Structure 1
């Protein structure tokens, strides 16, 4: 990969991950227990920064506390994320970085809430949002509080540093039933008397900063992420709203990661030119919501800023070939920590290549055959030139992602009792037979759904509720909304209907996660680029005299529309060749329909530079009061039919294909996603010039509130 240090200036990173919390107990009896994926988050982020951005190790500052089953972390105490060490590390990065340098801050661990140390600012009953240090159980330990974080970030901004903050934590907490997901927070307000002396600044300085940010003496804790008032001069990406949970989950079935961190790295691999934090947030929102309904990532601050770049930067990413073996093939400097999987394909360029749009310089096509933690072996599938491949040649990822088709299911039994998560006697006595009926009906799933085995994590949990009805839950045990009508256990075909619902959900999620991240054309001198953005709303729409779109109430996050309002979307072809455009609407009733073009036809062709402002009407299915729609836009070089992906609402039967044959490799992929039986568990996008494509999506919330 080419060195970016001369293009974007220096980038510094402060990475904090806490799995091990020293024994602690709060006044209500609760405690911050150990976590399982925070240090792994930091390891993966560090590997991303080193591999993708070629960051020197001396520009990465880490504080971690690993859980090795002992009372204390594995790291030496001077590397623990204590209050003192965190403040000192913030100060050190601020001191070393020069104006114009970038600073990336990533925290994975518990967040919390504590009785405020600043009643003069927040009132006697005020609350401080806090990061929880690893040694909180010590009598002298202190939280790092929101007012202090605001001051630390203000110093960076005042020094003209370009700051990005990621908080993969929450502060409302809660509990999950089962082992599939864990929460990074605690549902309590800590009233333990703790030191009010700050190492960050005097009370007067902290108060001045806070008042500048809030513009008032009070604060609404239910807005946005809840961590800080609207940032000025930096980007804050938080895992969830202030009243939600940040989950960690074993996405590969074995090792846990924070949902925000996992999907953040997934969405940044590869890091495409022109990617803004707003577009990144849209991707994260859709991906995280596809698994956890109670986690809504929040974006605050400069959403229009480019990720790891500026308006002047065009980034290209590739990995080095470390070794060439006549028997094994090519050893690539990338592996599982970068999300690579068997079957991923790379275009091989000569050493020192900096312009990867010059496809006539490609030497070969290679495909990964064996994936290690940080290195992978690939075999050459096709050669394009007679020139031999040398060590340090550049491998450009072409097809990085697979489409996950098969979903794992866990059957969860509940105890007998009177608590909310327990069953009354008459239901409890029928539970085992009801869940066994689901096992017996599993063949109806045609391979789309499988029961988990061993220590695998599940995509969905099936259980029985207190009303004697089947429930489908996400990995955090939250029942999936809008699954109608209820299915009573013991009723004819109820278990079979549950399996059909799971198949429907698997198809819906496959389309929701369908993306072609590295959308570069195979035609010499060309590349694909397409703009999709929501630019505003209006209460009515007159096609004769179209009104000017009005700004959204909260432009940093998911736009909210009332029923019968209109949202305006800008579509623009930024490529040097015509693109065919289709828009699908993924609806809250789990239906998928094509909304553009709205009647006949498979697509609308956009010439290079062509732009259109498209008005779309907000509506909700009958009986819905509040829900989210996903608008997914596809832009393709070839003529492609996306009707393959349409689904009826969940309460209607799926009508499978009428027998039409796919016409190009992209349609083969779409047909596989929509098929009655998946051909493989994971499917790689086809690599043909005729099916080069882009997929982007935006999310809008629709409410029936007046």
Structure 2
């Protein structure tokens, strides 16, 4: 990795410090003890870099080695009863664990100073798994929780230093609780695998290195131009998945990417790239597997265009191939190559975008005034919107005539366009008055067209349902509950927490206290959870995970608790998605109606799919329209699936009663083991 960084960065603009303890094919580290990454030396190195670097400098931190889950020494500061810890090589000879809160504090100091930080962990997160071909002599973590607290287990940090990162306040855009580096927008975090998986070694002729590190280096070197972390992720993940499939029992190693994914590698520059899924594997010269399936709506015979991994604009000159889906699965699909424009460029990591759709359009009926308007202005205004809808290609709205049923009506009343439900009732949420719909406004018809498209997209996601499969339907329980606490506790995971499932129920709140969303994995599978908030400003926000490209795992029997701050007035619909493989719903985000702001969490990502019919089409249509707002037992024959459940939060403007803000009684924390044999900190000054 050091060699790659020196090749990538200007020689006179990089400074690399290393702490290493290499143990390949021997029991003791090859390096002398002064070079080992011990507790004190790691902390000292972080502090040195933080002191020397200037605001805007780039800091790259690469860790590979052992990790453990240990009894917490910070129980007065944090809700967890365990710490995730890095295991220095001298841990059995007087050394100390470097614990999660301490490392988070060190990284926070860097970001507070304005440093641009990237953290890469090429290690197991589960603590008890091998980073090798299940060779127990190459364990990369401690297999059991260390419940002992020794006399030397004392932090070098004061409580005042650790308190801000140990128990940061909750907020509507929730953070990830099962990894203490996954919730920040202030840095990029790249992990080799999810918490329940192994991080594999890549065995080369000369040396053995982590699988993530190997393909990260390879992707950087092969790229014809600098890539963003998202683009690197797109290129690496299919290759890592293919390698893992060959050497592991379950064939899975899912890389985790969080934070500012649209930042160029080791740079402060950003590059907004189009949303797309990726080619996962070349099955043969005429057939590929794409990382998109029925959970995103892919169906047989859908067509996809293929583009290079580093593509930033989808133009015909750079198109690689065209595909037709022949066998859709839950999160992947097999597709045949029907046209090949650049044979040498078709490879895992290429971007794919759907080009054919089913019927996503919301039907709109234009209702003429009765009796007709005296000057014909209302009828003329309706014809203007008809012309725009019929002459402008779009995937969202179409004009229909009676007796065909419509989803929306458009009428002209008092010289103003009005949008109603198909049955003539008023919409559930108001249209912002800033969007002028007076027919005397020359832009009114175009404004109306834009609004109708936005509402159609919103309602398509709102009405999204999974298939009525008794197996997947039982995977998940959800509930919303008002709490007596004005200051939300941190998000967390709890084991053996019982509550009644309240799917499709309405929870009322006056906004004076936080509301708790509980999501429990009732299956025997590890599920991946994502939560969308559809609010009364016609915005769609992914509130969990907020800064990740893919949904995050929830183990069997575990409950995820997400405290939500409540703002404004109106109804929010919370849709909870559960899949049995990692996937991304990031592309479904929408800004509030009338807002020109980029959705607050939209950093793009890789899409995948397998379930019914709509999600793949949604992906394509959202990709085209591009740019939220109010914050708020395994069955053999059924191995892949997804389910979505929803509940509602009604916020009124009542004063509410005075509440006691007493401490919340926390159930036992359920987390995951951290993983981390070398630590490298690079500062580009």
Answer whether TM exceeds 0.5 for this pair. no
TM-score, with length taken from structure 1: 0.42
Q: Which has the higher contact order (CA 8 A, sep 6+)?
A: 2
